Chains A and B, each alone.
Chain A
């Protein structure tokens, strides 16, 4: 931004803040230094339109209106109560929390916005030491190319369409979504919204979005339903189940420490000529636990329940079968 333009814009803000009545573009042209340089009416209006857009982009609340019914055109002013940041006074530990919050983002979109907020808090008199050391320094990155357009669509309330690869299907499919929000969970970003093709709420992993995200329809068309809990949509069924399944296992002596640290030894037992312990363990997710137990190979044998014993056996058979075929052996 040129010095002349920056100066003109600061003067425009000061002028509109100081007026109670609406000032027309013509009045502003006559008052605010810089506009008089415009060589023609057309050049002035172009200049003024650009300046208004710049101020609105920065969040300056430009009001338009007329002072009386006799005015021929709209005028402009800035209401001080809408312009000014409210009073804020932070204790040192609160200012430290702000510094940590600003540092949380490792993202071109969010870091810039957080820095902008920090600048204004400082201008409001808050002292924030950006280099204060915290016990833990969490970071949230936004590496996915789809993040910026999806965040913009969420903030604009605009539907989007993109190619999406489901884990179970290789070929990407086109999805059209009314975006409600973006969620970061365990360092991964998700989009939550109404899937127009499915007619239901869906959660999309940003890393599986293929290619470009395009907007559909007008901004403001998407309204997030009241009371929707975005995080719940992402967690879905992965939350801790209330009930656990109890299993009895044989574990070879001194082996499978990962299983042992979650288990209770109930006795010794020799199996297949090897000494081991009989243990009990509470499983929260029996299905994924079958893979975990199968991974221990001959060091862990499921005794009960029968369904778990069979699942582990099928898994091992699957491994053997796939490798016999796959490797051509």
Chain B
């Protein structure tokens, strides 16, 4: 979970750390060395080197009374003289942008974190930063959702908070099916603008992701959520679609108007063809899902392989046309 932690002591990080250390220690008299090192993302050994360096710094005159003074007691540190460096340097424009843009994104995202706390934080940081507000970066984390999804979220969050199981009626788009399931909630996720409940599904006997806007009914049960110990969280850092060994593979030719498919779904081996078309390799688990996708594209997607899929698409199109003609005949 700590992929985002401060990178280990690189040369470029040293000066900002040196300028922050004295005010940091002033705010925490007697802090253990290990704890301070962890906050700065460096080893205790490196922090000691930094403190030794700061000990040599001070105000013109550079006599004993002019230099930064630190007292060590056991493994704890206290600043006894700060040489005028009592506050940290203000945030740079880039730092203020990174922090404030992220906070604004969180403030506008329902269900992630207490929005009220985020708004209070924003106000405090904006006033402390006291410079031009960043306006060149905007992040939108969620799509606008309807009221029903908002209500579903409330119920799911209450089940998570109370560690209770849920009964849900769920629409599975890949199979175009609706089913009732009992699930043991594990966490909520936000991927590509949509909210998901990750839970142990007692029907599938596996961990599943449930898109909140596809949960048609939800009810908190009076029994505790009990995902089995071997239930593992999905890694969604690469997106939701994961290539799986038992998946089938199709080769598709995308006309310009269907190129969005190559951006929306993970595809492989994209080859540019004439007229702005592209050939791609795409994995799929469910034949009927793939047929539905292609049937809807008005011929902008052509199945090059496998023949089985191409025949299925053509046969479904013929049957649909025949039935529609039947309607006009009656």
Contacts and interface: CB of A to CB of B under 8 A. Distances in A.
Contact of A1 (B6, B15, B105, B143): B15
A242 B24 CA distance: 53
Contact of A272 (B62, B278, B296, B326): B326
A86 B88 CA distance: 9
Given A58-B89, A114-B102, A272-B326, A119 B127 contact: no
Contact of B89 (A84, A141, A315): A84
Contacts of A58: 15-16, 19, 89, 92
Interface in B282-302: 291-300, 302
Contacts, number: 404
B192 interface: yes
Contacts of B242: none
A53 interface: no
B202 interface: no
A87 B330 CA distance: 79
B99 A102 contact: yes
Contacts of B27: 123-125
Interface string B141-164: 101100000000000010010000
Contacts of B12: 1
A318 B299 contact: yes
A182 B54 contact: no
A60 B16 CA distance: 10
Contacts of A186: 140, 143, 192-194
B38 to A, nearest CB: 9
B177 A295 contact: no
7 contacts: A1-B15, A13-B19, A97-B117, A100-B106, A117-B96, A167-B260, A185-B193
Given A105-B98, A123-B21, 7 more contacts: A13-B19, A33-B62, A59-B95, A91-B120, A125-B23, A258-B176, A319-B314
Interface of B: 1-7, 11-12, 14-21, 23-24, 27-28, 39-41, 49, 53-54, 56-60, 62, 83-85, 87-99, 102-103, 105-106, 109, 111-114, 117-118, 120-121, 124-125, 127-130, 135-141, 143-144, 157, 160, 171, 173, 176-178, 187-195, 216, 237, 239, 253, 256-257, 259-260, 263, 272-278, 291-300, 302-304, 307, 310, 313-314, 316-324, 326-327, 330
